[in-house]
Amino acid sequence: MMFEPTLFHYLTLAAMTFCIGVFGVLVRRNAITLFMCIELMLNSVNLTFITFSKYRVDMDGHIFSFFVMAVAAAEAAVGLAIILHVFRHKRSVNVDEANRLKL
């Protein structure tokens, strides 16, 4: 039956959400939204890992997505601190205005 989810369906879904995330990173200028788009991309990668994990009956994919989650947490902490810092100096979270390494 064509409605039954298979490997193809899960991977296409992951590709779709990943592409939406890429589009957001390319188009949006708000730093916080940009970060959220990155989280979205990380999540779709997680979905790919877990899909292949089931397909191969191997739990290593779970471990990898576990690590991705930990890295995403670290990234969110540091990234939001940077956004806060930029906002204090520029009064804006627009990434176009933060165009110098030195504030």
Q: In the complex with other proteins, which residue's Cβ is closer, 18 or 98?
A: 18
Site string for other proteins, 12-31 (x = CB under 8 A): xx-xxxxxxxxxx-xxxxx-
Closest approach, Cβ 99 to other proteins, in A, equals: 16
Please give the C-alpha separations between residue 3 and each of 6, 8, 9, 13, in angstroms, as whole numbers. Answer: 9, 12, 9, 14
Closest approach, Cβ 37 to other proteins, in A, equals: 6
Sites for other proteins among residues 60-99 (CB under 8 A): 60, 62-63, 65-67, 69-78, 80-85, 87-88, 92-94
Is 56 a binding residue for other proteins by CB under 8 A? The answer is yes
Is residue 20 packed enough to be buried (19+ CB in 10 Å), middle (13-18) or exposed (0-12)?
Answer: middle
Q: How many residues interact with other proteins (rule CB under 8 A)?
A: 73
Instruction: Provide the token pair at 96.
Output: 């176009």
Report phi then psi at 94, rounded to 5. Answer: -75, 125
Residue (of 88, 70, 84, 11) closest to 45 by Cα position: 11
Is 45 a binding residue for other proteins by CB under 8 A? The answer is no
